[in-house]
Chains A and B, each alone.
Chain A
Amino acid sequence: MNKTASVVIVGGGISGCAIAYNLAKKGVKDVVIIDKEYLCSGATGRCGAGIRMQWGTEMNCRLAKYSVEFFETANEVLEYDGDVEFKQGGYLIIAATEKEVAQFQKNIKLQNSLGIPSRYITPQEAKEIVPHMDETQILGAAFNPKDGHLNPFHTTQAYADAAVRLGVEIMKYTEVTGIKVENGKIAGVQTDKGYISTPVVVNAAGGHAQIISEMVGVKLPLYSERHQILVTEAVEPMQGPMFMSFSQNIYCQQTPHGSFIMGRGDPTEPRDLRVTSSWEFLEEMAKTCIRFLPPLKDIRMVRQWAGLYNMSPDAQPIYGPVKDVEGFFLACGYSGHGFMFGPVTGVVVSESILGEEHTIPVDALSYDRFEKGELILEPSVV
């Protein structure tokens, strides 16, 4: 199979599908998405699927707000015949240290100035929102009722279906084995199913982004880190918001389906492409969860798994072109929040490719920020 495309997107997660949809909507023909397995087989399908606007940098706040506003109307805009299951039960981010109290109050000021309705609340107020929590463990909390949860499989499928209706081709079970560059310009993509000539390649490969970039000789300052997660059996609705702590290392949310999804980070996790599961995670996760949310001890967990965070030096995405390779565009380095930024990724990366002005200015997130040393560090990441 040899063919020609105008844009080849590597990676069939939320980013790849959203970029393809936006390009096709703007009239670009012959857009191809390639995934080595199936849609959502990587980070998108493995993520905790939380959606929040409570960030510590103006950039991330803007990106998240745009995305949340999109999710609110995603079923209609994408004309999806299923349901993306957007539940806006809020995010309750607890402050367990004095440092966090100060940081949250600063963050909330920033968030409010951008129109994000977050507020600082007392332990008692937090208890009213999540009645089964142990409020004696916290000093206070930040709460935004508009944050929430979204089904990653259906959201990606909604984008993919809409993209396919607009003429996008999705090649599943196709692996990119090389990218051809001629005179500093992208010439084509070699896959295990044949060669595709194209002037534009988008790297939306999630945890494998650094490998794809190396194919064109671009060394990204990224590494992938395993993050683990578990899900319980479904129970009656009892927890509205995502319960989260940066310093105590937990996020725990009840999905609309009724199951609890929870995860944590661990600085000793392997930094390679492993997505295996460990017992240590289960034990630490259960311990932390029961400490803050004691009644959950009687709920049965049914499954654990892992996915890759594609970590960038400042925990923010890398968007846009690469100076040395014409036609090579980046949509990676999300550091654990690529799913919730999906809609804005689709918009700004498609604008980069078409040379249009950005809906939200994201030049500060370009690849050359690392050369210039202009990092904008995000303080609020699990």
Chain B
Amino acid sequence: MLKSTGVPMEKDLESVIPPKERLAKGPVAIIECFERIPCNPCYTHCARGAIKEFEDINDRPQLNYDICNGCSICVSHCPGLAIFIVDETYSDTEALVKIPYELLPLPEEGTFVTGLDRGGKPICRAKVIKVQNPKFQDRTPIISLAVPKDLSMTVRFLSLEDYYDDNTIICRCEEVTLGEIRELIRKGYKTVEEIKRISRCGMGPCQGRTCQQLIMEEIAKATGEHIENIKVHNYRPPILPIKLGKIHGGEKNE
């Protein structure tokens, strides 16, 4: 399959994916180089000597996972854009995937893009955490994407378009779509609190656990404000729904 489509299969990947124990320790390079070709910049640029010396310039790179610290120097030096850094310790739910990206325009840090798989299929919404483009990378920028952890070995490219479209329901309790929220923002509602009142987003049993962050991102995108400056809505008791029959015998508490 690799030979006819250029897309590696699970069997091909087995040889380049580090063991679980190594992934749990932090960032590491994933070298998805499957062809014997005369090419060795990954080996010559690795400052730690994590890539085994090439006996023949046609050799495929052999990475010592324990020496590699995921520094990403090899990523921008691979002419085939075949090296990625995966950090599964990024957060409880997300992994960080560093991807070489030679298209223009570059994505902006803090925005959302669509994570693509090796075949170019849209796979998830991904946040752009970092865009590295210093001189020594020689115009091969590296984009760091936060993706759902279980997709750390799936997302290998990105498209600047947002994964969500106007029909995506972002408030599951009240079934409000992203398109409705975008329309409200266009109309001049620029705070979560105002959008909550007019759309009911965040008024349901989950009290905004899912939708609030998404609305804040949309407001940030529309206003150009940094998301840190977008206010969350007022949190109101009791946070988790509780049956009226269970509310008994509490104590004074403002």
Q: Would you call A286 and B244 a contact (CB within 8 A)? A: yes
Judged by a CB distance under 8 angstroms, whether A23 is at the interface is: no
Chain A residues 39 to 92 lying within 8 A of chain B, measured CB to CB, are: 39-41, 45
Q: How many of B's residues come within 8 Å of A, CB to CB?
A: 27
Q: Would you call B254 and A276 a contact (CB within 8 A)? A: yes
Interface on chain B toward A: helix, strand, loop, or mixed SS? Answer: loop
Bitwise interface map of B from 102 to 116 toward A, beta carbon under 8 Å scored 1, else 0:
000000000000000
Chain A residues 217 to 241 lying within 8 A of chain B, measured CB to CB, are: 231-234
Binds A, one of B33-41, B196-204, B218-226: B196-204
Q: Would you call B238 and A301 a contact (CB within 8 A)? A: yes
Contacts of B245 in A (CB 8 A): 286, 290, 297-298
A304 and B197 in contact, given A286-B245, A289-B244 (Cβ under 8 angstroms): no
Contacts of B252 in A (CB 8 A): 278-280
Q: How many of A's residues come within 8 Å of B, CB to CB?
A: 35
Contacts of A302 in B (CB 8 A): 203-205, 207, 241
Judged by a CB distance under 8 angstroms, whether B4 is at the interface is: no
Judged by a CB distance under 8 angstroms, whether A358 is at the interface is: no
- Which of A153, A234, A279, A289 contacts B253 (CB under 8 A)? A279
Chain A residues 291 to 334 lying within 8 A of chain B, measured CB to CB, are: 296-305
Interface on chain A toward B: helix, strand, loop, or mixed SS? Answer: mixed
Q: Would you call A153 and B203 a contact (CB within 8 A)? A: no
Judged by a CB distance under 8 angstroms, whether B242 is at the interface is: yes
Judged by a CB distance under 8 angstroms, whether B193 is at the interface is: yes
Judged by a CB distance under 8 angstroms, whether B248 is at the interface is: yes
Instruction: State in angstroms the CA–CA spacing of A286 and B234 once bound together.
Output: 23
Q: Would you call A298 and B243 a contact (CB within 8 A)? A: yes
A300 and B191 in contact, given A279-B251, A283-B250 (Cβ under 8 angstroms): no
Contacts of A232 in B (CB 8 A): 244
Judged by a CB distance under 8 angstroms, whether B249 is at the interface is: yes
Judged by a CB distance under 8 angstroms, whether B48 is at the interface is: no
Contacts of B241 in A (CB 8 A): 233, 300-302
Judged by a CB distance under 8 angstroms, whether B32 is at the interface is: no
Judged by a CB distance under 8 angstroms, whether A106 is at the interface is: no
- Contacts A278-B252, A283-B248 aside, 14 further interface pairs with beta carbons under 8 A come to A38-B194, A154-B198, A232-B244, A233-B204, A233-B241, A279-B253, A280-B252, A283-B247, A283-B250, A297-B244, A300-B242, A300-B244, A302-B204, A304-B238
Write 24 A-B pairs (CB below 8 A) sorted by A numbering.
A38-B193, A38-B194, A41-B193, A154-B198, A232-B244, A277-B236, A279-B253, A282-B237, A283-B247, A283-B248, A283-B250, A286-B244, A286-B248, A287-B248, A289-B244, A290-B245, A299-B244, A301-B243, A302-B204, A302-B205, A303-B236, A304-B237, A304-B238, A305-B234
> Which residues of B are interface residues toward A (Cβ below 8 A)?
191, 193-194, 197-198, 200, 203-205, 207, 234, 236-238, 241-245, 247-254
